[in-house]
Amino acid sequence: MSEKTTVAGVAVDTRHWIGGERVASAGTFTDVSPIDGTVLAEVARGTAAEAGAAVAAATAAFPAWAATPRAERARLLHAIADGVEKRLDELANVETADNGALLRSHRRGVMPRVAHNFRFFADWLLQLEHEDFETRGHSNHVSWDPAGPCVLITPWNAPLMLATWKVAPALAAGNTVVLKPAEWSPLTASLLADIAAEAGLPAGVLNVVQGYGSEIGDALTSHPGVRRISFTGSVPTARRIAASAAAALTPLSLELGGKSPLLVFADADLDLAVDLAVEQYDNAGQVCLAATRILVEEPVAEEFTRRLTEKASRLRQGDPRDEATDIGPNIHPRQLEKIDGFVRRAVASGARVVFGGAPNTRLGGLFYLPTLLTGVAQDSEIVQEEVFGPVLTLQTFRTEDEAVRLANDTRFGLAATLATGDPARTERVTARLVAGTVWVNCFFVRDLRAPFGGSRHSGVGREGGTWSFDFYCDLKNTVTAPKGWLSHG
């Protein structure tokens, strides 16, 4: 196979990165752009052999990296961030071609956030500490010890940002990493390997392997030498990973799907509430945090729906490389078929299409129209299951209790968004919502100091700030007797 491909004018190596070297596989898989169906690359298709080699490289590199002083680890993470910023436009162009998200978003928000991920955890590492405390004159000292090789499995909807959200704290903690990107969008992970090597990261500290979960993922997650597994993706895949990791009792962090609500009360600023609703079409609806279930208090439901319909009609769908585009394509034909299947079944069950409801036939390809459905039952598939596309449902409620009941009535609990002008109501409702993150009169405000994760089937564990180090480290408490004190047991 060809060792490199050129995407948007950028040379991308399509081989694995293992132990500081490029490694080919006997087979490849085809990576296709969702924008126009162009074949971008034939990518190395890893197997259990490459999984084993990557874990071996990470294992060999671990002792030296774990012993590297915090200040030097932080310096190298900052150097990686420098490299990301130097190649920001290249990374943005490649990722847009690979996963179809808006180029303007990649340039202005996503790729700067990639660099910030490294800088934040580098700086957090340097101030990570727990105040010593006493027990009957004995001192207690808490420390964060590097755990070992980590397997990080990342999704296709925000490939590099979500990968580095895991890579940065794992490396900062003194661990070595095997990163397995999604096969639908693997290219910027390969570029990250180049950037890390250029920054001086020692060989084997970061390894990148590509391929299908059934062929390389299982070999990684079941490997007894792996000490942490972090995964972002679907609930069914998480179940398989958890089962695979069970034999070695490998600790897991799982950030899974969502079916988040947007609660709009009659006292809300309706224009703000409509803006929040329209934001849920971002990235063609391929956002795990998206508030896809809109719950509106009855007195304002008709006016809210009118304003939402009018504003959504102004969204521009098209080529994500165009600065004027608001919504790009969905990632893959299978994803488009899944989205359309959800909508068709909902309509067949009695749902009413307010707008959208079908693929965009004018554009063809993988473009699905922004969609709003009403007349949906609470126990229906479209309300209970994650669509992961530009499809929202709208239901009404009469009381605060009913709003909370509907909001919590799914198996998920990733996020919730609340639109209200009443501070007392805010306090009451947010206290009762089952969600890892609740936004009030805002959406998608993320601070790396805050805990992030989901409740119920939306995940296991929390990451961010010290919570990330708690996961990626073995916490140790050292208890020391006072000087001159002798214990006889």
- pLDDT tens digits for range 392-426: 999 999 999 999 999 999 999 999 999 999 999 99
**Nearest in space to 193 (alpha carbons), one of 183, 185, 205, 211:** 205
Q: Which residues pair with 139 in a beta bridge?
A: 134, 480
pLDDT tens for residues 216-265? Answer: 999 999 999 999 999 999 999 999 999 999 999 999 999 999 999 999 99
Q: Please give the pLDDT value at position 487.
A: 52
303: phi then psi, degrees, rounded to nearest 5: -65, -40
Q: Hey, what are 142's tokens?
A: 């808490």
pLDDT tier, 489 (very low <50, low <70, confident <90, very high otherwise) = very low
Can you give the pLDDT at residue 3? 86
Q: How many helices (H) and strands (E) does the chain have?
A: 16, 22
Query: CA–CA separation, 199 vs 201, rounded Å?
Result: 6
Among 50, 95, 150, 288, the active-site one is 288
The answer to whether 154 touches 125, Cβ cutoff 8 Å, is no
CATH T-level fold of 4-256+454-477: Aldehyde Dehydrogenase; Chain A, domain 1 (3.40.605)
- Mean pLDDT over 341-349 rounds to 98
Tokens of 190: 């390969």
Q: Which two tokens stand for residue 111?
A: 């790729």
Nearest Cα to Cα of residue 466 among 173, 189, 184? 173
The answer to whether 65 touches 176, Cβ cutoff 8 Å, is yes
Residue 485's pLDDT is 66
3-state SS, residue 338 = helix
* Alpha-carbon span 79 to 199, nearest angstrom: 5
Q: Cα-Cα-Cα-Cα dihedral of 214, 216, 220, 224, to 10°?
A: 90
Which residue's structure tokens are 């209790």? 401
Distance CA 291, CA 323 (A): 25
Question: For residue 302, which phi and psi values (nearest 5 degrees)?
Answer: -65, -45
Catalytic member of 255, 297, 386, 463? 255
Strand 138-146 and strand 473-480: the pairing is antiparallel
Q: Tell me, what's the pLDDT at 483?
A: 83
Q: How many CA atoms lie within 13 Å of 10's alpha carbon, on the beta-carbon side?
A: 23
Q: What distance in Å separates the CA atoms of residue 390 and residue 164, rounded to the nearest whole number?
A: 26
- pLDDT tens, 283-339? 999 999 999 999 999 999 999 999 999 999 999 999 999 999 999 999 999 999 999
pLDDT exceeds 50 at position 152: yes
Average per-residue pLDDT in the chain? 96
Average pLDDT, stretch 446-466?
A: 95
Among this protein's residues, is 473 annotated catalytic?
no
DSSP state of 201: P
Q: Which residue has the tokens 């774990």?
A: 66
Nearest to 400 by CA among 438, 442, 436, 430: 430
Find where tokens 């190649």 sit. 87
Question: Is 310 annotated as catalytic?
Answer: no
Instruction: Single out the residue of 197, 202, 196, 117 nearest to residue 463, CA to CA.
Output: 117
- DSSP letter string, 283-320: GGG--TT---EEEEEHHHHHHHHHHHHHHHTT--BS-T
Distance of CA 53 to the CA centre of its chain: 26
* Residue (of 272, 319, 320, 291) closest to 391 by Cα position: 291
What is the structure's pLDDT at 335? Answer: 97
Span 66-94, average pLDDT: 98
In 3D, which of 399, 459, 457 has the Cα closest to residue 432?
Answer: 399
Lookup: tokens for 424: 């007392």
Q: What digits encode the pLDDT tens for the residues 18-48?
A: 999 999 999 999 999 999 999 999 999 999 9
pLDDT at 118 over 90: yes
Which residue type, as a one-letter code, is found at position 405?
R
What SS3 state is found at 65?
Answer: helix
pLDDT cut 70: percent of the chain above it: 99
Cβ atoms of 39 and 103 closer than 8 Å = no
Q: What is the mean pLDDT of residues 102-123?
A: 97
pTM of the model: 0.96
For residue 8, give the nearest of 66, 69, 94, 137 by alpha carbon. Answer: 94
- Mean pLDDT along residues 174-188: 98
What is the average per-residue pLDDT within 431-450?
Answer: 96
Q: Is the confidence at residue 488, as pLDDT, over 80?
A: no
Torsions phi, psi for 75 (to 5 deg): -60, -45
261-440: which CATH number, 3.40.50.1240, 1.10.3720.10, 3.40.50.300, 3.40.309.10? 3.40.309.10
Residue 147 structure tokens = 């755990």
Burial of 427 (0-12, 13-18, 19+ CB in 10 A): exposed
**For residue 1, pLDDT beyond 60:** no
Q: Where are the domains of the chain?
A: 4-256+454-477, 261-440
3-state helix, strand, coil in the chain (%, to 5): 40, 20, 35
